[in-house]
Amino acid sequence: MRTTAVYAGTFDPITLGHLDLIERSSDIFEKVVLAVAESTPKSTLFSTEERLAMAREVTQQFDNVEVDTFNDLLVTYARRKNAGILIRGLRAYSDFEYEFQMALTNRKLAPQIETLFMMPKEIHSYVSSSTVREVAQLGGDTSEFVPPSVQQHLTKKVTQT
């Protein structure tokens, strides 16, 4: 049985939906690696170091969750971590096409690594990091979307810019 899973993303910022998947994954797998993407085609609000720090803050309650960064193909990283599972979150049907395409590509590149799609709880299913960033930058309250420590980082970040 494959006991290590990788949950990768930008996590800019990490949301309650992400945290829900982390918590549930940590109950299923012996070890979960939360892999924060260093380089991304997306424009990020937080630096890699800031995203790592927030991820470590909100996952410290889980003994079997490791936070790390990666800067190469996800399947290459998963192999390095001896992971046999990639966790991918699906919020809505609109996520499916992209995630399905990536899962098939990853399967072609690394057939021994499986992709597991997970959906967050319904109360988090509409929340995305990009929406959280936009709401925060426009002065809205994001406390219903992110953990309290992330809310503090968001407030500080948007008041600096």
Residue 119, phi then psi, degrees to nearest 5: -105, 140
Q: Is 56 a catalytic residue?
A: no
107 in active site: no
Catalytic residue (one of 2, 42, 80, 121): 42
Q: At what angle are helices 48-59 and 16-28 packed, to 10 degrees?
A: 60
Q: Which of 24, 79, 91, 157 is catalytic?
A: 91
Judge residue 62's burial from the number of C-beta atoms within 10 Å of its C-beta, 0-12 exposed, 13-18 middle, 19 or more buried: middle
129 in catalytic set: yes
Residue from 18, 51, 88, 133 carrying the catalytic annotation: 18
Active-site choice (124, 128, 129, 133): 129
Alpha helices (H) in 42-92, listed in sequence order: 48-59, 74-80
> Does residue 124 carry a catalytic annotation?
no
Residues labelled catalytic = 18, 42, 91, 129
